[in-house]
Structure 1
Amino acid sequence: MNLIKAQRDQLFEYGPFTVRRQRPGEALGPLAIVDQMTLKTGATIPLQQHQDDEIFSYVWRGSVRHEQENGAEIMLNSKRMLVVSAGDGVRYAESAPLIETALLQAYIRPQHSGGAAAVHSWHRAEGVAPDHWTLLAGPQASAAPLTLRQQVCIYDVKLTRGAQLSVPHLPGYASWLTVLEGVVRSGELRAQAGDALCDSAALPPVSGERDATLVLFLVRQDAPAVMSGTVSGS
C-alpha cells in the first residue's frame, strides 16, 4: 500500500479556481486523473468540448450548476452526482453561482472510442451514508445507479471519528482511496484531506481519526482503455 501525499506541485490556481491534480499512474491505467477543486462563488467554466472521456463529478460541499449545450441544467450538490460519458462528443459548462464549492472530478479512459454521448445524474435524499460504503458508479453489468463505460467502480462513505470499516474490493482490481476531508488511518499510514491511499490489490481497513469523507475507486487492472480522450488521454 502506498500513501500519495498532497503536494504543493499538484496545486494550481486559476483565478477563482484552485485545483489539486493527482495522476494515479500505470497501475490504475483507466483512472487517468483525479482532481479536487475549490470554486469560489461566481466561478464559471465556459462551454467546453469533450470526447472519449468518462467524467465523474462529486460535490461534497456547496453546489455546481452543470449546463448542457441544449440549455438543460443539473444542479449538483452533496446529494446529487453526475457521470458524463462523452463518447463522440459533448459540450457543457459548469459554474458555482450560489456558494463556494468543493468538487471532485475524475477522468476515466473508456474501453472503446466513440458512441453516443450520455449524461446521467443520481440523487439520494439522505446524502452520504455514515459508516457504510455506497456504490455510486460502475460498469453496465453492476448494480450501480450511475453507469461508466469502463471496468471501474466508485464508492463513498462518511467515516465517523473512532469508526473502523473494511474497504470494498474486487479480485483483479486495484484500489485508489481519496480523502476529501478529515483524517483516517489504514495500517501504519495516516491520510488527511488531499491525500490518497492506493494498492494493486485490497486496502486494509480504515479507521476515522477525525470525521472523514472518502471516495474509493476500484479499477480493473487489465481492462482495455483508449487514449483519445480530451482530458483522460493527456
Structure 2
Amino acid sequence: MLQKLFADKHKQPYKGYFTITRVHPGDIVDQKFHDTAFGPLSVIDHAVMKKGLTIKMHEHMNDEILSYVYKGTSNHKDSSGLDTPIFPGKLMMMNAGSSFWHEEKVKNEDVEMLQIFVRPREADLEPRIQFHEKEVANRNWYVMVGPEDSQTPLYVRNNVYILDAHPKKGDVLDIPVYPELVPFLYVLDGEVAIDDVQLNPKEAVTDLDNPLPAITAIEDTTVVLFFVDMDAAMTMSGTISGNASN
C-alpha cells in the first residue's frame, strides 16, 4: 500500500538566512512510537542558504552526508584541507567517521540544496570525502550513491542507494526495483502523480511491501529516489543521523 509523507509534517529548526526544512523519513510510517529514520536513512535537510551566509567550521561524527546542490553555489572547506565549490551536478559525500570538520560559505547567490544523512553500519570508521560530477538535468534515473561494493560513483557505508531524475512535464518514469530494499521517493521540486497519489515539493511516498508504480511528471520536476535496507546494522552515534529527536 502506498504511504505518503505530507509537507506539513516537517519542522523548521532554523529559519532566516539559513532555513532548514527537516524531513524525518520515518514519519511516513503510521505508528505512534517509531524511530524517525527510515532504516539507516535518517534525515533529509532541505536547506535554503542566503547570499553572504557562513556556516562556521563544525564537527560531524558518524554521519554519512550527501550534499546535493539544486540551485546556486556553496563553497566547502574542511579539515582535510579542501577548499572547493559545490554546485548543481557536483555531488559531495562526507563520510564523517570518527571526526570530520567542515565550513560552508555562500558567496554570490542563494543556495537551495539537500543534505542527506545516512547512519553508517558502525561507529568511528575512517573519515573520508568524495566528489562526483554528473549531468545536471538527466530526465531518467541516475544512480549517484550505493554501498561500498556497488561500483556507484559515490559510496555510503551502509546498504542504501540514492538516485535522482529531472523528468519534464508529461514524462512517465518507471521505478526500478532493488531486491530486498524498500523504495522512498522524495520530491525536491515540481509535482508528480503515482497512481492516484499526487506529490508536491517536500513530499514523499513509499510502499513497504511492493515496488512503487511509475510516476508521471505533472510539471517539470526533480525527484530523489532511495532504496533502503530496513534491517541493516547501523550505529546510533551520529551527530545528526543518530539523534532521533532532531
Q: Which has the higher mean CA deviation after the structures are superposed, 201-210 or 181-190?
A: 201-210
1:153 maps to 161
SS of the counterpart of 1:32? strand
Does 2:242 match 1:233?
yes
Among residues 62, 68, 72, which one is paired with 1:58 in the alignment?
Answer: 68
Q: Given the alignment, which residue of 182, 195, 202 partners 2:211?
A: 202
Structure 1 gap ranges (5+): none
Matching residue within 96, 99, 105 for 2:109: 99
For the pair 1:212 / 2:213, whether they are aligned, the reply is no
Q: Which amino acid aligns with 1:19?
A: I
1:185 equivalent to 2:193? Answer yes
Give the letter for the 2:58 counterpart.
Q
Correspondent of 2:46 among 36, 41, 60: 36
Return the letter of the residue paired with 1:147: Y
Give the Cα–Cα distance (whole angstroms) in 2 for the partners of residues 81 and 70 of structure 1: 17
Q: Secondary structure at the match of 1:185?
A: strand
Equivalent-residue separation in structure 1 for 2:133 and 2:226 (angstroms): 20
Kindly tell me the number of residue pairs found equivalent between the two proteins.
232
Question: C-alpha distance in 1, partners of 2:167/2:22?
Answer: 23
Q: Which amino acid aligns with 2:219?
A: R
In 2, distance between residues paired with 1:45 and 1:199? 37
Determine the structure 2 residue equivalent to 1:118.
Answer: 128
For the residue of structure 2 that corresponds to 1:211, the secondary structure is coil
How far does residue 14 in structure 1 lie from its aligned partner after superposition? 3.3
2: CA distance between counterparts of 1:71 and 1:148?
Answer: 21
CA contact (8 A) 2:10 2:22 kept: no
Asked if the contact 1:78–1:128 (Cα under 8 Å) also holds between the matched residues in 2, the reply is: no
Offset at residue 143 of structure 1 (A): 2.6
Which deviates more, 69-78 or 17-26?
Answer: 69-78
**Superposed displacement of residue 70, structure 1:** 4.5
The alignment partner of 1:159 has SS state of coil
Q: For each residue in 1:165-192, what CA deviation from the matched residue of structure 2 results, as whole angstroms up to 9, or x when unmatched?
A: 1112212111111111100000110001
What's the RMSD between the two structures over aligned residues?
Answer: 1.4
Aligned to 2:31: none
Confirm or deny: 8 A CA contact 1:17 1:40 kept in the other structure.
yes
Closer, same or farther: CA 120–29 of 1 in aligned 2, 3 Å: same
Contact 1:128 1:156 in 2 (8 A): no
Question: How far off is 1:228 after superposition?
Answer: 0.5
1 CA distance for matches of 2:118 and 2:157? Answer: 9
How far did residue 74 of structure 1 move? Answer: 2.4
CA deviation map 1:142-169 (0-9, x unaligned): 1310010010000000011001011122
Residue type at the aligned position of 2:19: T
Between the aligned residues of both structures, percent identity stands at: 31
